[in-house]
């Protein structure tokens, strides 16, 4: 097995990308993901990574270059955050429609305005419907492991969809954690060379991205949607195989102390570890509280999620993004829809917390759980609460 050493998460992610033997990196620096692409540029410059590094003038150009690269059969990587991801928005829809398996790490950061370089999930929640596979890491080891998994799944000929690995900006990207980077032989065993089904080759010309007239557009999108939903099986199978090679096990939905929970906290990302401490405290106080964490966000693992919350009376969904004018945050809206036709479904209370890098402490999670208990008896006045706002 690989050696476990203390390393900044962004640097470890870059090292994992190197082990995946990427052919092309196209990137534009933006806080807080800069250390990832900066370290990759160093690895290319000093000869440790045999890849083309394309320096571009914007994130829009970075993603455009990535699509051209992967269309020719090159294993391709990029990374971005916040306004950079927003600037890519126009191009992001094209990758899944053309089945171009780019892998991107997003160091999640708040969107302007006001200007904020700190963490929340506003950037990626604005990209929920782009058709990319999306996972969320809880810690540095997961961030690294999900990079290997992303390439393995995205490039699988049964999938051929782009993939995003989400890591919380600063609170994860800039932390130094004990991380095990596996041996290169293990990575090679897990991740085969990229062999696309179709590619741009002047010797065998094909067309990519022609006009979709009204008579065929819906059929094209139906085919894309069905293929995307079918990717779920490959995603889970790739985690099964990951455990065999690396010894670590991952699931689309993770649970903590849910065996007899009547109240459950639902969260994504690095705050889950803080929430676990709150759950432990509440369990010691005799409260039947558990935790559910979404690792696979797209395609949404409906059956896994419904199974995870079975028997729960009240589900407290903690959103790290605001959906102005809606009936809740993006995750709560998704969850309410997912549970609507489930018999005996739990009631859902929604808290919007941790926007723009605001701390969410163990005590905050305890308070949200206590409020969930209160709302078991009395219906909340509003569909969601902005938690921790200084009124």
* CATH code (residue 319): 3.40.50.920
Clarify whether residues 257 and 220 are in a common domain.
no
Question: Which residues, in sequence order, are bridge partners of residue 133?
Answer: 163
Mark which of 221, 246, 271 sits at the end of a domain: 246
> Is 304 inside any structural domain?
yes
Q: How far apart are CA 294 and CA 268, in angstroms?
A: 5
State what percent of residues in the chain have pLDDT above 90.
99
pLDDT in tens, 342-357: 999 999 999 999 999 9
Say if residues 106 and 33 touch (Cβ distance below 8 Å).
yes
- So what's the pLDDT on residue 228? 98
> Is 93 inside any structural domain?
yes
Clarify whether residues 296 and 317 are in a common domain.
yes
User: Mean pLDDT throughout 44-71?
Assistant: 98
Whether the per-residue pLDDT at 391 is higher than 90: the answer is no
Clarify whether residues 306 and 234 are in a common domain.
no
Whether the per-residue pLDDT at 1 is higher than 70: the answer is no
Number of domains the chain is built from: 2
pTM above 0.95, yes or no: yes
Clarify whether residues 293 and 335 are in a common domain.
yes
Nearest to 79 by CA among 35, 33, 45: 33
Domain enclosing residue 365, as ranges: 253-386
Clarify whether residues 352 and 288 are in a common domain.
yes
Residue with tokens 């219906």: 379
Clarify whether residues 335 and 200 are in a common domain.
no
Clarify whether residues 112 and 145 are in a common domain.
yes
Clarify whether residues 32 and 160 are in a common domain.
yes
Helices (H), the chain: 9-19, 34-45, 59-71, 82-92, 94-97, 122-125, 140-154, 184-190, 214-246, 271-284, 302-308, 330-339, 362-375
> Is 266 inside any structural domain?
yes
Nearest to 52 by CA among 43, 62, 44: 44
Whether the per-residue pLDDT at 6 is higher than 80: the answer is yes
> Is 119 inside any structural domain?
yes
> Is 391 inside any structural domain?
no
- So what's the pLDDT on residue 2? 72
Average pLDDT for the chain: 97
Edge-to-edge strand list for the sheet holding 253-256: 253-256, 289-294, 263-267, 314-319, 347-352, 385-386
pLDDT in tens, 78-115: 999 999 999 999 999 999 999 999 999 999 999 999 99
> Is 325 inside any structural domain?
yes
Whether the per-residue pLDDT at 284 is higher than 70: the answer is yes
> Is 239 inside any structural domain?
yes
Clarify whether residues 380 and 312 are in a common domain.
yes
Mark which of 203, 226, 246 sits at the end of a domain: 246
> Is 208 inside any structural domain?
yes
Clarify whether residues 263 and 301 are in a common domain.
yes
pLDDT in tens, 177-213: 999 999 999 999 999 999 999 999 999 999 999 999 9
Clarify whether residues 298 and 174 are in a common domain.
no
Mark which of 246, 281, 304 sits at the end of a domain: 246
The backbone torsions φ and ψ at residue 28, rounded to the nearest 5 degrees and listed phi first, read: -130, 130
Report the CATH number at residue 114. Answer: 3.40.50.970
Q: How far apart are CA 93 and CA 315, in angstroms?
A: 32
Clarify whether residues 164 and 296 are in a common domain.
no
């Amino acid at each position: 097995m690989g050696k476990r050493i203390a390393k900044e998460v962004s640097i470890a992610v870059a090292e994992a990308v190197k082990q995946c033997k990427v052919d092309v990196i196209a990137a534009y620096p933006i806080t807080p993901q800069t250390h990832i692409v900066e370290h990759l540029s160093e690895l290319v410059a000093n000869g440790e990574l045999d890849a083309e590094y394309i320096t571009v003038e914007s994130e829009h150009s970075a993603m455009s270059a990535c699509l051209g690269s992967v269309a020719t059969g090159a294993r391709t990587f990029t990374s971005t955050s916040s306004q950079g991801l927003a600037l890519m928005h126009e191009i992001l829809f094209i990758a899944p429609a053309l089945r171009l398996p780019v892998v991107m790490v997003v160091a999640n950061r708040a969107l302007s305005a006001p200007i904020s370089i700190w963490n929340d999930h506003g950037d990626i929640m604005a990209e929920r419907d782009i058709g990319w596979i999306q996972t969320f890491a809880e810690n540095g080891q997961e961030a690294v492991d999900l990079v290997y998994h992303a390439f393995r799944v995205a490039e699988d000929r049964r999938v051929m969809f782009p993939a995003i690995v989400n890591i919380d900006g600063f609170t994860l990207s800039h932390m130094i954690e004990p991380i095990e980077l596996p041996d290169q032989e293990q990575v090679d065993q897990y991740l085969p060379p990229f062999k696309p089904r179709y590619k741009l080759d002047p010797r065998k010309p094909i067309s990519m991205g022609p006009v979709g007239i009204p008579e065929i557009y819906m059929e094209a999108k139906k085919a894309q949607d069905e293929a995307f939903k079918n990717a779920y099986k490959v995603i889970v199978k790739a985690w099964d195989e990951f455990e065999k090679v690396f010894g670590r096990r991952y699931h689309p939905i993770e649970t903590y102390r849910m065996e007899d929970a009547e109240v459950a906290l639902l969260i994504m990302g690095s705050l889950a570890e803080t929430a676990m401490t709150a759950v432990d405290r509440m369990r010691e106080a005799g409260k039947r509280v558990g935790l559910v964490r979404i690792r696979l966000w797209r395609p949404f693992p409906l059956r896994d999620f419904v199974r995870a919350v079975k028997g729960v009376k009240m589900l407290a969904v903690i959103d790290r993004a605001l959906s102005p004018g809606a009936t809740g945050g993006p995750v709560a809206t998704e969850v309410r829809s997912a549970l609507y036709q489930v018999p005996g479904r739990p009631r859902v209370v929604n808290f919007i917390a941790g926007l723009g890098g605001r701390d969410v402490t163990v005590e905050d999670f305890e308070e949200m759980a206590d409020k969930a208990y209160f709302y078991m008896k009395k219906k909340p006045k509003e569909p969601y609460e902005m938690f921790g706002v200084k009124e």
